[in-house]
Structure 1
Amino acid sequence: MSFHGRRVPVKLDLCRRRDGGLAGHWERSPLILRVSTFDPTRLRPSDFIDIPRSANLFLEVFGHQPNTSRALPWAKVSFRHADSSYTRRDTRFRGFLYYHVPLLSRPLSGGLRFRCTPAPAPASFAHGQDLLCPTGLPWTIPFPNLVRFGGRPIMQSLLRDNLASLVDVLASRKSFHERAHPDRPVVHAVGQPWFLDLHVPAMIFVPGPNKLLRCHIYPAVARYGALVVCFEHTANPDHPHELALRVLDRRSSNVSFHPTYAHLPPPVRGSLLAHPLRTFPRPWTWNYDTPQKAEMAAGLFCLVNGPGVDVRPSDRIRVSLEHTMHYSVPSPRDFAWYEGEEGEPSP
């Protein structure tokens, strides 16, 4: 990783992220570094990063914009919220940025991660560990946020190295309608841990064939409190597709419920998340075979069945599911936007 002498000042607004990290009001001169790839199989010794946690990092990615000779602009990456001991400014990160796609998942499930390695050599990549957030989950910039916030530098690098397709890039833009949701987790499989903040309505995105499907999961039931949860099958013989939420860990020492939900039992590790509208103990469950919004049903269908192309929904909901999952296929105008022939993609 080569350093450049030029340093650019930046100022952000102070706020505390829901996952416990900090962002903002840090006047810094960001480091400007150069990377050659995000493919872990093509890393070079020059791609090694050794920076303080508090630094803003500007990446210069090798490549050029399509149909032009103009070099790619900077892409900014910040690690401040990644360190659980974020109050310590002497922490340093040493390792490689790389693009990760979970096994048995769709391309829209991918994201940028940071692998901490014991040595500044690509051969040490396999012996390293991924950087973690305060939640205990891997620090990740989801693929849709890379498209929106990383802009053309990161997007072009992923396309050049065949880590993503142009259809995936355009689908990500259309899924968010030009507005990214950095606090909303992308959940691609049953059993995947994800962060649940109990004081805001819980919404996740499930990768579908051609878009990210929005699923509203749980209401805001508490003044404060956070959990790490995962979906799991309920093993209900009458509803084979039924899902519940298992509490894997509590990220808050206690949970303060709103008066409306004071009847809910305190969530403990290993328990199922309770139904918020029932006065007697009962798990909160989801089933894509029950009547609900088409996008929610499509998301649950993709979550249960994964990326298997041979799986089809029941006839009762097939039409609405297929319409929701496939209506955002990129149009010729979207491809024209990418080539620079038009200003914006189609809505």
Structure 2
Amino acid sequence: MKHVLPLGDGNFRPSPPLTSNSRGTQVHGPALRSSSVLRTLDPAKLTPKDHITSAKSPSCLKSFEICVQRVDDGYPSVSILHNPPRGDSGGNLAGFLYYYQPPHAPPLAGELRFRITASVDPASFPSGVDHTIQQGVPWSIPLRTIAGKPNFTPIRYLLTDVDATVPHLVMDLAREYQCIGGGQASRCLYAFGQPFHLPLTSHAPAFVFFGKDRVARPSLKTVTGFYTGNRVSSGPHYPFSGSIICCFEPSSLEEHSGRRVAVIRVLRTLAHDPVRPNPRYTGPPIPPGLCPREGELLTRLYRRKVKVWAADVDAAPTSRNAQAAALSILFDNALEYGSPCGFAA
């Protein structure tokens, strides 16, 4: 049986020989014929036979999807369907599907990625680039999705029995967390300094934090908004529209000395969705320093003062910081696995 697997959201859609998407629109055979039977997902073991060239995806589907079919010997036959975004003149994509275990990360943070290469020769893999989603972060399918969905059976076979890159115990643990969603794939995090996408008008963006033996899914309320306490206009207020790429980092501010406090660094803005005044904003005048700026810490308005957004992970939970304790996973991972941004307790 064939399945269309949308890249990034983890859902699966069983289909008849003419594969259907979630709306029932059929994907005809020619789009699925450029498949490859994969014998490994380990970059060190790739052969030219593991190379995949995408077929054009019907416009009814997402811009980038994969189809997986189990062949008789248990290995996966994989097709890539690609429909470039409007205005993108790029052609077919070609490269290798592979399993990525990030450095400074727990085993649960493993994921599938697609590496675009210049040739079918595996020697071109190191110089290739991973396919990215619109927000500029790598496309991925997380291990918990691979572990929990029946249509990933041949992918699991490669990871646990052929490549032995994922122990069965880790796969079993990942399966326990299969139902945990995370909104956008870019907000599945395991380390300080890891970039994520943040819309400036999102009331409670959802995150997934991967720890050594646990997963947490907090929704951090009013990260970019604030309340005024005015009964007429109770809020929350969001003074800016657009979206930004950020990362969490341990606070080095003197006021947080000796405590485990996480702050958010603005890494960059996005050309297709720039920071701009929110036309629906009806709050008080916007004070200087509230607008997100590249390279600076994210701020918010609290009791009419501009303050750095901060989460004390060990503070007694309140209605405002009830979800902040989940950020303790990032501090724990920094001690357990090291930290890419040089944090040390």
Q: Same fold (TM over 0.5)?
A: yes
| One-letter amino acid matched to 2:260 | H
Structure-2 residue corresponding to 1:186: 188
Residue of structure 2 in register with 1:286 after alignment? 311
Aligned to 2:231: none
Report 1:58-69 matches (<5 A). Answer: 58-60=67-69
Q: Determine the structure 1 residue equivalent to 2:152.
A: 151
Q: Whole-Å Cα distance in 1 between the matches of residues 176 and 54 of structure 2? A: 35
Partner of 1:266: 291
Distance 1:240 1:128, change over 3 A: same
Q: In the aligned structure 1, how far is the partner of 2:302 from the partner of 2:175? A: 35
**Structure 1 residue corresponding to 2:215, chosen from 205, 212, 216:** 212
Q: Unaligned regions of 5+ residues in structure 2, if any?
A: 1-15, 59-64, 226-237, 339-345
Partner of 2:333: 306
Distance of aligned partners of 1:123 and 1:72 in 2 relative to their CA distance in 1, 3 Å threshold: closer
Secondary structure of 1:123's aligned partner: helix
Q: CA deviation at 1:153?
A: 1.8
Is 1:173 the counterpart of 2:175? The answer is yes
> By how many angstroms is 1:75 displaced?
6.9
- Matched residue type, 2:169: V
Report the CA distance between 1:190 and its aligned residue: 0.7
Root-mean-square deviation (CA, aligned residues, Å) is 3.4
Measured against aligned partners, the alpha-carbon deviations of 1:190-210 in whole angstroms (never above 9, x if no partner) come to 111111123332121111122
Map of 1:222-261 to 2, 5 A cutoff? 222=238, 224-237=241-254, 238-251=257-270, 252-255=273-276, 256=278, 258-259=281-282
Cα separation, partners in 2 of 1:155 and 1:195, compared to 1, 3 Å = same
Contact 1:33 1:58 in 2 (8 A): no
Structure 1, unaligned runs of 5 or more:
1-6, 15-23, 65-70, 312-347
1:9 matched to which residue of 2?
Answer: 18
User: What is the letter of the counterpart of residue 168 of structure 1?
Assistant: V
User: Given that residues 75 and 151 in structure 1 are in contact (C-alpha distance below 8 angstroms), is that contact kept between their aligned partners in structure 2?
Assistant: no
**Displacement, 1:109?**
1.1
Number of the residue aligned with 1:339: none
Q: Which residue of the partner structure matches residue 104 of structure 2?
A: 104
Cα distance, 1:211 vs. partner? 2.4
Q: Report how far residue 159 of structure 1 moved.
A: 1.0
Structure 2: which amino acid aligns with 1:48?
H
Q: How far is the alpha carbon of 1:309 from its aligned partner? A: 4.5
**Aligned partners of 1:60 and 1:75 also within 8 Å:** yes
Q: Distance in 2 between matches of 1:96 and 1:249?
A: 29
Cα gap change, 1:180/1:170 in structure 2, threshold over 3 Å: closer, same or farther?
farther
User: Could you say what secondary structure the match of 1:126 adopts?
Assistant: coil
Q: Do the aligned partners of 2:106 and 2:337 also contact (CA within 8 Å) in 1?
A: no
For 1:261 and 1:75, how far apart are their aligned partners in 2? 54
Question: Cα deviation per residue 1:225-244 (whole Å; 9 max; x = unaligned)?
Answer: 22110012221343442111
Deviations 1:132-177 (A, max 9, x none): 221111121222222234531212211121221223223223224x
Aligned position for 1:18 = none
Tell me the amino acid that sits aligned with residue 246 of structure 1: R
Match of 1:191, SS state, is coil
1:179 positional shift: 5.3
2:37 to 28, 34, 37: 34
Query: Could you tell me whether the CA contact under 8 Å between 1:145 and 1:182 is conserved in 2?
Result: no
Tell me: CA distance 1:72–1:123, structure 2 relative to 1, closer, same or farther (3 Å): closer
Alpha-carbon spacing, 1:49–1:305, altered in 2? closer, same or farther (3 Å) = same
CA distance in 1, matches of 2:283, 2:259: 32
- Give the 3 Å change call, closer, same or farther, for CA 309–138 of structure 1 in structure 2: closer
Alignment partner, residue 131 of structure 1:
131
Residue 245 of structure 1 and its aligned partner are, at CA, apart by: 0.6
Contact 1:36–1:61 under 8 Å retained in 2: no
In structure 2, C-alpha distance between the alignment counterparts of 1:226 and 1:25, rounded to whole Å: 32
**C-alpha spacing 1:211/1:110, structure 2 compared with 1 (3 Å):** same
Deviation at 1:130, TM superposition (A): 1.3
The DSSP-based 3-state class of the residue aligned with 2:96 is strand
Do the aligned partners of 1:229 and 1:246 also contact (CA within 8 Å) in 2? yes
- Residue number in structure 2 paired with 1:43: 46
Q: Secondary structure at the match of 2:154?
A: helix
Give SS of 2:268's match: strand
Distance (whole Å) between structure 2 residues aligned to residue 45 and residue 310 of structure 1: 34
- 1:257-297, Cα deviation, whole Å (9 max, x unpaired): 65458747332212222235442211110122212389956
Q: How far apart in 1 are the matches of 2:158 and 2:282?
A: 50
Please give the TM-score of this superposition, normalised by the length of structure 1: 0.70
The answer (yes or no) to whether the contact 2:244–2:269 under 8 Å persists in 1 is yes
Taking a change above 3 Å as real, the CA distance of residues 179 and 282 of structure 1, as seen in their structure-2 partners, is closer
What letter corresponds to residue 268 of structure 2 in structure 1? D
User: What CA distance in whole angstroms lies between the structure 2 residues aligned with 1:157 and 1:182?
Assistant: 27
SS at match of 1:282: strand
Provide, for residues 29-65 of structure 1, a one-character-per-residue CA deviation record: whole Å limited to 9, x for no partner: 442432111111111110111113527532346786x
